[in-house]
Amino acid sequence: MNKLLMHPAVKPVLFVLCLLPFAWMVYGAFTDGLGANPAEYLIRKNGDWTLRFICIVLAVTPLRVATQWNALARFRRMLGLFAYFYVVLHLLSYSWFDMGFEIGDIAKDIAKRPFILVGFAGFVLLTPLAATSFNRAIKALGARRWQLLHKLVYVISGLGLLHFFWMRAGKNNFNEVFVYAAIIGVLLAWRVWNLASRKLKPALVVGARLSNR
């Protein structure tokens, strides 16, 4: 599987697959297939795909560790950039179709409605991650600082989930919220467990050596 994932064709294929939701929305826009409220459809769908890509990014490391498919790591940066691509489309759809690019009204709306404020905060935090997703930025920041910065994805996932929860609270529809909460909860719990086990392992090795003396 690692050999297959390292094939030069895999990245372009993944790139095209990640663009399919966008292509479907463009197709819907040209064929009147976005429903009775196209603006709301675009805002919601781009928001959904942002959250999905964040879940996919968070799933890369657990899947890589569980399967030993180490080549999966080469796709994480692209998947993260697609999360940013869809959040930009989400914000653009809201700013353009819902608010008519009225900056003053947008600022007031963000300040007035907590769920929009939380979503905007997630976008702001995701921006430096997208801006530093290239090799030159890693060299400039240093690997340790770069890794620390990109741990913001955990905060961003929580903000995205809260944004989605508050948005669905208006219609008292939490089914999808619970699904995303379960997925993100499991992925974050795995990271806590993995970190704890790595810290505990040296202590267990030392203890075993001492007991064998």
Query: With the C-alpha atoms ordered 145, 151, 156, 159, is the resulting torsion angle positive or negative?
Result: negative
pTM of the shown model: 0.91
Residue (of 55, 49, 60, 53) closest to 23 by Cα position: 49
pLDDT digits (tens, 9 = 90+) for 43-55: 999 999 999 999 9
Give me the pLDDT at residue 117, please: 95
Give me the pLDDT at residue 195, please: 84
pLDDT digits (tens, 9 = 90+) for 115-169: 999 999 999 999 999 999 988 998 999 989 999 999 999 999 999 999 999 988 8
Backbone φ and ψ for 134, nearest 5 degrees, come out as -150, 160
Give me the pLDDT at residue 202, please: 58
Characterize 67-102 residue by residue with b for buried, 16 or more Cβ atoms within 10 angstroms of its Cβ, and e for exposed: eeeebbeebbbebbbbbbbbbbbbbebbbebebeee
207 pLDDT more than 90:
no
Highest-scoring range by mean pLDDT, 82-86, 166-170, 171-175, 199-203: 82-86
Give me the pLDDT at residue 179, please: 95
Residue ranges of domains in the chain: 2-211
